[in-house]
C-alpha cells in the first residue's frame, strides 16, 4: 500500500524539486524556460523506478520512456534556443514521425518492402499526433490550460487501462498526471513557463501511452476515440460566464477541468460497458 502511494507522490515531489532547482540554477531567463523539463524528468525517474520497464525499447510499454525522453530533449533545446515557431513545428513534426515510425514498426528499421499502406498509416498517425501537440501548443499561452488538458487526457487513459486490466499502463498514466499536476501548481503560484519540453515531452509520452494501450487491448479503441474531445474543452470553458474579479483566476481552471471531465467520463463508461459485455 505504501509503495503504491509513493509511486504517485514521488513524481509530484520530484517535479517541484527539479523545477525549482532548474529555475534557480538557470537564472531568470534560461532557468524559467528550462524548468518545464522537470515534468518529464520526474516522470521518467518515477516510472523507471516503480514499474521497472526494460531498458531496451523492445515493446510498446518500454518505448514510452524512450519516446518521452527523446521528445523532451528536443523540446528542451527549443526552449533554450527559442527559434521561430515554424522551426519548432518542423522539429516537433520530425520527432512525432520518428516516434510513430518506431511505435508502428517496433523500431527504426525500414520494412522490406516499404508498402504504400504501411507508409499511409504512419503518415496518418503522425498527422493525428501533430494535431494533438499543436492543440496543446496553442493552449499553453493561456496559463495552465495546456497542463490541465494534458493531465485530464492522461487520467482518462489511465482509467481506461485500469478497466482493461492493464495495471502497468494505468500506473504510467497516473505517474504522468502527478508530474503534470505538480508543475500546474508551480505555474499557478510562480508563473512558471509552459515550454516545448512539456508540450513535446509530456505530449509524446501521452501519445505513446495511448498507442501502447490501443495495441495491448484493441477492444478499447472505440472508447479512446472520445478522449481527444478533452482538448476542445477550452473553447466551451471560455463561454462560461465568470465574475469579473480575481476569483475567476481560480474558478476558470476548475470550470475547464469539469468540462474536460465530461468526455473523460464518457470514454471510461464506454470502456466499462464494453468490458462487461
Q: Could you tell me which residue, 111 or 48, shows the higher pLDDT? A: 48
Query: Are the beta carbons of 195 and 34 closer than 8 angstroms?
Result: yes
| Whole-number pLDDT of residue 189 | 77
- Average model confidence (pLDDT) for the chain? 89
CA Rg, the chain, in Å? 18
Cα separation, 199 vs 177, whole angstroms:
14
Q: Could you tell me which residue, 100 or 253, shows the higher pLDDT? A: 100
Total residue length of the chain:
277
pTM as predicted: 0.93
- Across 87-92, average pLDDT: 93
Q: How confident is the model at residue 115 (pLDDT cuts 50, 70, 90)?
A: low
pLDDT (tens digit per residue) in 237-255: 878 777 766 666 677 888 8
Q: Which of the residue ranges 20-29, 35-44, 110-119, 235-244 would you say has the lowest mean pLDDT?
A: 110-119
Q: Which of the residue ranges 36-40, 114-118, 231-235, 238-242 would you say has the lowest mean pLDDT?
A: 114-118
Which residues, at least 6 apart from 54, have a Cβ–Cβ distance to it below 8 Å?
Answer: 62
Q: Could you tell me which residue, 73 or 243, shows the higher pLDDT? A: 73
Q: Could you tell me which residue, 113 or 5, shows the higher pLDDT? A: 5
Helix or strand run (H / E) with residue 241: none
With 60 as the cut, is the pLDDT of residue 2 above it? no
With 90 as the cut, is the pLDDT of residue 105 above it? no
Please name the residue ranges forming H helices in 106-195. Answer: 116-139, 145-163, 167-190
Q: Could you tell me which residue, 165 or 250, shows the higher pLDDT? A: 165
| Whole-number pLDDT of residue 249 | 67
| Whole-number pLDDT of residue 114 | 63
Give the percent of the chain with pLDDT over 90. Answer: 64
pLDDT (tens digit per residue) in 193-239: 889 999 999 999 999 999 999 999 999 999 999 999 999 988 888 78
Cα separation, 263 vs 257, whole angstroms:
11
Cell, residue 238: 471560455
3-state SS assignment for residue 142:
coil
- Across 165-170, average pLDDT: 96
Amino acid at each position: 500500500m505504501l509503495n503504491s502511494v509513493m509511486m504517485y507522490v514521488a513524481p509530484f515531489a520530484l517535479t517541484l524539486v527539479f523545477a525549482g532547482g532548474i529555475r534557480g540554477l538557470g537564472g531568470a531567463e534560461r532557468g524559467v524556460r528550462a524548468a518545464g523539463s522537470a515534468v518529464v524528468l520526474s516522470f521518467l525517474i518515477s516510472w523507471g523506478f516503480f514499474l521497472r520497464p526494460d531498458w531496451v525499447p523492445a515493446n510498446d510499454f518500454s518505448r514510452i520512456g524512450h519516446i518521452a525522453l527523446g521528445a523532451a530533449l528536443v523540446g528542451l533545446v527549443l526552449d533554450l534556443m527559442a527559434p521561430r515557431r515554424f522551426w519548432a513545428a518542423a522539429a516537433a513534426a520530425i520527432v512525432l514521425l520518428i516516434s510513430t515510425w518506431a511505435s508502428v514498426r517496433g523500431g527504426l528499421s525500414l520494412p522490406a518492402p516499404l508498402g504504400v499502406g504501411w507508409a499511409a498509416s504512419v503518415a496518418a498517425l503522425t498527422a493525428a499526433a501533430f494535431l494533438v501537440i499543436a492543440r496543446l501548443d496553442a493552449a499553453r499561452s493561456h496559463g495552465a490550460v495546456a497542463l490541465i488538458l494534458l493531465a485530464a487526457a492522461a487520467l482518462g487513459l489511465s482509467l481506461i487501462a485500469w478497466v482493461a486490466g492493464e495495471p502497468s499502463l494505468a500506473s504510467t498514466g497516473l505517474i504522468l498526471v502527478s508530474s503534470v499536476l505538480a508543475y500546474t501548481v508551480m505555474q499557478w503560484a510562480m508563473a512558471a513557463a509552459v515550454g516545448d519540453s512539456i508540450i513535446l515531452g509530456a505530449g509524446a509520452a501521452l501519445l505513446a501511452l495511448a498507442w501502447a494501450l490501443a495495441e495491448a487491448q484493441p477492444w478499447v479503441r472505440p472508447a479512446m476515440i472520445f478522449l481527444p474531445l478533452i482538448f476542445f474543452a477550452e473553447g466551451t470553458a471560455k463561454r462560461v460566464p465568470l465574475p469579473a474579479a480575481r476569483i475567476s483566476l481560480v474558478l476558470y481552471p476548475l470550470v475547464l477541468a469539469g468540462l474536460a471531465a465530461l468526455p473523460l467520463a464518457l470514454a471510461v463508461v464506454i470502456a466499462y460497458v464494453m468490458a462487461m459485455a
